[in-house]
Each structure stands twice: as C-alpha cells, then as structure tokens.
Amino acid sequence: MALLELKDVHTFYGNIQALKGISISVDEGEIVTLIGANGAGKTTTLMSICAITPLRSGQILLNGKEISRVSPNKIVKMGVSQVPEGRRIFPQLSVSENLDMGAFLRTDKEGIKRNMEEVFAIFPRLAERRNQLGGTLSGGEQQMLAISRALMANPHLLLLDEPSLGLAPLVVQNIFEVIQKINKERKTTILLVEQNANMALKIANKGYVMQNGIIKSADTAAHLLENEEVRKAYLGL
Amino acid sequence: MKVRSILADVRKSLGIAVWSMVLLFPLMVMKVSVTRGVAQVQFRWNFLPFVGIAGFVLSFAWRIALEWKDRRGNNKSEGTFSRVKAWSGQYFARPAVRTSALLALLSFVIAYPFLFGMYHTNIMITAFIYVILALGLNIVVGLGGLLNLGYAAFFGVGAYTYGLMWKYLGHSFIAAGIDPGWLFWISLPLAGIMASLFGILLSLPVLRLRGDYLAIITLAFGEIFRMVMQNSSDITGGATGISLIPRPWFFGHKLPPPQAATYIYFIAIVLVIITIFIVRRIEDSRVGRALEAMREDEVACEAMGINLVKNKLITFALGSFWAGIAGVIMAAQTTYINPDSFTLWESIIILMAVVIGGTGSIPGVIGGAILLKLLPEYFRALAQYRMLIYGIAMVLVIIFKPDGLIPRKRKQYTFEEKELSK
C-alpha cells in the first residue's frame, strides 16, 4: 500500500480549475518528484494534500485513510509536513523560535530538544545563527531554516515546494544533498516539487510530469531522464 | 560639502517660504467683511512676512531633522545620546539598581493620591484605564497583527455590563440587604468574560480577512455596538445612558467620593500590574509565539499545523478581555455611562497609544497610553488644537521613530545553549 495516494483530485481557485484529475502515489521511503512548468499545478497539488486549498472532488489517502476532509493542523499531526514555496519563514522570529513553531503540535520537550540538535547537526550554519532573526538570514539559510522547521514536526512525509527557488547553484547542490541525506538517514519519504527537473530527477526514485493541471507522464526517474520529450521540454537538452 | 548642503537647504526653504506666502495669501492676508450686503476686502500686509518666516523656519527645521535621522541611521553606535543610553542600559541592568528604581516608582505611585488630591488621582485613574486598554489592544495588534478599529466597543461592553447589572440587580441587592458595592466585584470578571464573548463573536466573520478589510469590519462593529446601545432605550437608557452607578464599597462601607477615588486608584493599579504580568506571560508562551507567527505568515502557520481559526479566536478573546475589565473601572469611576464614551475616536486614541508607544512593546504601550491621556489633561489651554497635535505627533513618530517611542526589545529565546556549546 502506498504511503500517500491521490486519486483523481480536482482543485479549484474560485472558478478556475487548477487540478484536473491528478493521480499520484508515493511509496514509503521514496523520493518522488513532481516536475513541470509554471502554472502546471505543482504547488496546488501540495496545498491540496495539506488541505490548505481544499479539493473539490477526488480522494487523498494517507496510509489508506482518507484525509481530504481533514483540517490542516490534523494533517500535520498525522506526520505530513510542508516546506512551502518561497520559504515563508517567520522573519520577526529568531531561528530557534522558527524551529520551535515547526514543532508546535508536539508536546515532548525532550524530543523537541533532541530534534533541534539533529537539525543543527544537519545545518551547522543555523546553529551559529540560532538567535538571529529569520528575516536577516540569506536566501540559502532561509531555505535551510524552512526545511529544518518542517523537520521539527518529525514527519513521515516531507513535502518540499521548490527548494531551489532563487538560490545559487552551489547552494542548490548543498540543499539537494541534504534532501537525500534526510531521506536515507531519517527514513523520511519525500515528495519534491521542482522546476529544476534535472537535479530533481537525479535524486528521485520516481517522477511525475505535470502540465496544465494534469499528469502528462509518470515513470521512474531514470526513465524520465532518458525520455526524449521530457529532455526537450524540461531539461533543455 | 556640509556648507553646500546647508546652502541647498536654505535655498529650498526659501522656495517653500515663497510658496507658503502665495498659498496662504487668501487665508492670512485677505480679510473679507460684509457690511450691509457689501463685501469689503481688507489687506493685512503685516501678516505676510510672518507667514514667510514661519514657512522658512518650519521647512528648514524639517530638512535638518530628516538629515539628522539619516546620519543617525548610518552610525547608530556613535554619538553622545546613544552612549548615554548604553551607559544607562548597563546601569539599569544591575539587579540592585533595578529593584531600587522599581521600589522608588512603586512608592511614588502609592503615595500619589495622598500627595496630589482627588483631581489628579482621577486623572491618573483614567490613565491607568488606558494603560489596561492599550495592553489589551496590543495583544490583538502587536502580537496577532490584526488591526482592530472597534476596540472601544469592548470597552463599552465592559462598562455596560456593570451599568446594566446595577440597573437591573441593584434594587434586589439593596432589598436583600447586601451592599451594592459587591456588584463591582461580580462585574469585574463577568465584564471581562462578556467582552471576550463579544470578541469571539466579532472574530467569527473576520476569520478570513486581513488588513484593510479587517479594519473596516471592526470599525463597523464598533459603530454597531454604539448604535445598538443608543437605540435600545428600553434596556440601556439610550442616549441618556445609565447614571448613579455605585463606586466600589470598601468592605461594606460606602466611601465618600475622595476616598472612593483613592480606592479605585489602588484597584486600578493592582489591575494594571495583573495585566502586565499576564500579558508578559502570554507573550513568552507558545501561544503568544503562535500569534506572532500568524502575524508573520498565515500560510506557513497552517503548514506548521497551527490552527488559524483557534488562534484568531484566542487573539480576539484575550485582547477584548482587558477592555471589558477597563470598562468596569471606567463605569465605577465616572458613575455614569452613555454611548458617547465609546466612539470611533476612542478606539483611535487607544490604537495611537499602541503605535506611538511602540507596537508590541509593553513598556512602550504603557508609556504611550499615559502620555496620550496625561498630556491633554495638563495642557487644557491647548484643548482646541488637540487633534492637530495628535496628528503632528503621529506623523513625527512614524517618520523618526517608526517602531514607537520605546521599541520592542525581542526577548531572545535561548534553547539548549548549554548542550551545544560543550
């Protein structure tokens, strides 16, 4: 059974249909990537999973349980955590306060402490700046903070929305290494939304290509990297 | 370089002076008087130079102030003022100095009603009421980031809770032989709860609103409350309000007005201290930080599993609670309430106290409230210019001290520093 399964999901913004029947399945322990151009509906898919933009029809199953009518905070409690697009850290809160907000639903102080140390071990830069305000960090550091904040909820499933957005190539490299590391060491399943298709497909097991609210093609990441159409459209080769 | 920039300032100010003479010519120089249906224009040429000089001086002072602000922004740590500030900061950081300063302040506050008499005591009570109001509004605006322009309505809910309790239960209290002074103590928590309930009621329709829309809805709520109080004359007494509300009794004794004022003064102090204590606890708590997170980014909050609906309800309920409490003190102090005490203007003054003092900063908000309430009382001669002065003060604060007079110092949340440093 898949960890996360979307079955024929339709989502609207007012009268505009953003998702026109999306079906995705993510298995335990995988890295699955969702690639596509601007406006394809990638972010909306993640927002629908988190119930921040509720879907109009279709089903979302987490461990076989229907979650499409569950409120966002309960979904986080069930172990799904999102790194939103554009980082969206809390600029007026310090780094450690940002992290603490990530663990908002947890009550085990010891566990939170341990988790924070783990996160600081992954990103030593954040440990150095833990008392600095989030807004004073550089773009790359903010992305690290956003990922760390999501990890503070101790998720089974981590949803990453364009972690490479607006970052220098070296920083992107670093972030992607960390994503792989999180997947291997913490056994966290990852659903990665990316415009940087090349990078994403290289670390993923499976990929979905989205276009105008539908899934254009789905295959293993290795096959998609070979696929002539995908190479032309998204890899610029 | 410096001389040149000053010369440029002088030149620009001269230009402003000429402009102000031209623009104000019809207002300040020409005087039209109508005698027997014939208009006569009288030219008061001697006013013209004054207009010019005033224009020049104001414009020049403004330019110098702006330059001073830029320079100060560039090298913040230098200059005598900041050195004095740093020194006094260190000095006050010492626990002994801090405690003695606090004790001195406390003893002055306690001695105040005995030193200055009833008139000044009453003014101080009003100032304390505004301190409580501003601290409450600070939860909504400073922490939650939700602009509330109808805050006076919650103040009114508190005052009317006490007023209506007196109006409808006072007789039965007297008939039963219980002194009606008890009503005050029953009303105090009840008014807080009532105001919280109204806060929740208001927050339901505004859950999805932010910024301008929220401001408009809260503004409308404030006016609706006032209108309802004004028009339901059968229940609330309408525009005439409720009068002869009792002051709190001192352990079964009815106090004469001067002593009652002193008594209310002390009640107000205790409530201010309780408010400060609780508001600080809220700020340092996880709920407080969740409110701040909501102010910063709502989507990120949802992604973190923070329940926005619950958070907004909490913000409004907590913020309004204090307004209800303040309302009871106000009703007890003035012994008379009517809807005119809870106008939009009242909400705006409380909001101004928060903004001028420093949004989110507890000492700032207290200072702002005291300043805005005490200065008008002691400068009664300038009463007709009050709005003008408030406006100018607001503009100056926003340009020169955008974070308020006493800006918020963020408490650093140091978490397991020890474990990591080893």
Are A153 and B410 inside 8 Å of each other by CB? no
Are B293 and A149 inside 8 Å of each other by CB? no
**Which pLDDT value is given to residue B187?**
93
Whole-prediction pTM: 0.85
Provide mean pLDDT across the span B350-369: 92
Q: Is there a single domain that holds both residue B220 and residue B286?
A: yes
Res B210 pLDDT > 80:
no
Report the domain count for chain B: 2
Q: Among A127-141, B62-76, B262-276, B348-362, name the one with the lowest average pLDDT.
A: B62-76
What does the alpha-carbon distance between residue B124 and residue B117 come to, in Å, rounded to a whole number? 11
Instruction: For residue B50, tell me if it sits in a domain.
Output: yes
- pLDDT > 90: percent of chain B: 41
Are A104 and B413 inside 8 Å of each other by CB? no
Token duo for residue A202: 């290289």
- At residue B417 the predicted structure's pLDDT band, cuts being 50, 70 and 90, is very low
Whether A100 has its CB under 8 Å from any CB of chain B: the answer is yes
* Segments forming the whole domain that contains residue B34: 2-61
Return the CATH number at A207.
3.40.50.300
**Considering only alpha carbons, which residue of chain B is nearest residue A91?**
B296
Instruction: For residue A56, tell me if it sits in a domain.
Output: yes
Of A52, A96, A105, the CB nearest to B415: A96
Interface residue of B208, B294, B415 to substitute, partner A, most A CBs within 10 Å? B415
Are A127 and B420 inside 8 Å of each other by CB? yes
Instruction: For residue B422, tell me if it sits in a domain.
Output: no
**Which pLDDT value is given to residue B267?**
94
pLDDT digits (tens, 9 = 90+) for A156-190: 999 999 999 889 999 999 999 999 999 999 999 99
Instruction: For residue A217, tell me if it sits in a domain.
Output: yes
Calculate how close chain B gets to A199, using CA atoms only, in Å. 25
Instruction: For residue B36, tell me if it sits in a domain.
Output: yes
Provide mean pLDDT across the span B292-298: 90
Nearest Cα residue to A75 out of A157, A16, A166, A11: A157
Instruction: For residue A24, tell me if it sits in a domain.
Output: yes
**Which pLDDT value is given to residue A160?**
94
**Which pLDDT value is given to residue B153?**
96
Q: Is there a single domain that holds both residue B37 and residue B155?
A: no
A149: which chain B residues are within 8 Å (Cβ-Cβ)? 304
Instruction: For residue B327, tell me if it sits in a domain.
Output: yes
pLDDT digits (tens, 9 = 90+) for B148-195: 999 999 999 999 999 999 999 888 888 887 777 788 999 999 999 999
pLDDT digits (tens, 9 = 90+) for B5-50: 888 888 889 999 999 989 988 888 888 888 888 888 888 888 888 8
Instruction: For residue A135, tell me if it sits in a domain.
Output: no
Interface residue of A90, A115, A123 to substitute, partner B, most B CBs within 10 Å? A90
What does the alpha-carbon distance between residue B276 and residue B38 come to, in Å, rounded to a whole number? 65
Instruction: For residue A213, tell me if it sits in a domain.
Output: yes
Tell me what the pLDDT averaged over chain A comes to: 91
A150: which chain B residues are within 8 Å (Cβ-Cβ)? 303
CA torsion B231→B232→B234→B239, rounded to 10°? -40
- Which of B28, B46, B61 is the C-terminal boundary of a domain? B61
Token duo for residue A154: 């101790």
Res B82 pLDDT > 70:
no
Calculate how close chain A gets to B242, using CA atoms only, in Å. 46
Tell me what the pLDDT averaged over chain B comes to: 87
CA-to-CA separations, B336 to B242, B330, B331, B333, B350, in angstroms, rounded: 6, 9, 6, 8, 21
Helix (H) or strand (E) holding A33: strand A31-36
Report the domain count for chain A: 1
**Which pLDDT value is given to residue B418?**
47
What is the residue type of B33?
Answer: S
* Segments forming the whole domain that contains residue A49: 4-85+156-235
Interface residue of A70, A93, A149 to substitute, partner B, most B CBs within 10 Å? A93
Q: Is B223 exposed, middle or buried (0-12, 13-18, 19+ CB in 10 A)?
A: middle
Q: Which residue has the higher pLDDT, B415 or B339?
A: B339
A117: which chain B residues are within 8 Å (Cβ-Cβ)? 416, 419-420
pLDDT digits (tens, 9 = 90+) for B381-401: 888 888 888 888 888 888 888
pLDDT digits (tens, 9 = 90+) for A42-97: 999 999 999 988 899 999 999 999 998 899 999 999 999 999 998 899 998 899 99
**Considering only alpha carbons, which residue of chain B is nearest residue A158?**
B303
Instruction: For residue B223, tell me if it sits in a domain.
Output: yes
- At residue B76 the predicted structure's pLDDT band, cuts being 50, 70 and 90, is low
Calculate how close chain B gets to A226, using CA atoms only, in Å. 35
- In B, what residues contact A, Cβ < 8 A? 286, 289-290, 292-293, 295-297, 299-307, 410, 412-416, 419-420
Q: Is there a single domain that holds both residue B30 and residue B137?
A: no
Provide mean pLDDT across the span B295-312: 89
Of B295, B300, B416, the CB nearest to A113: B416
Instruction: For residue B280, tell me if it sits in a domain.
Output: yes
What does the alpha-carbon distance between residue B102 and residue B152 come to, in Å, rounded to a whole number? 31
CA-to-CA separations, A150 to A159, B4, B15, B226, B317, in angstroms, rounded: 9, 56, 58, 46, 29
A83: which chain B residues are within 8 Å (Cβ-Cβ)? 303
Instruction: For residue A67, tell me if it sits in a domain.
Output: yes
Instruction: For residue B221, tell me if it sits in a domain.
Output: yes
Q: Is there a single domain that holds both residue B215 and residue B166?
A: yes
Res B340 pLDDT > 70:
yes
Instruction: For residue A12, tell me if it sits in a domain.
Output: yes
Interface size A-B, in CB pairs within 8 Å, comes to: 89
Res B422 pLDDT > 60:
no
As a whole number of angstroms, the longest Cα–Cα distance in chain A is 51
Token duo for residue A199: 């990078």
Q: Is there a single domain that holds both residue B184 and residue B127?
A: yes
Instruction: For residue A132, tell me if it sits in a domain.
Output: no
- Which of B44, B61, B78 is the C-terminal boundary of a domain? B61
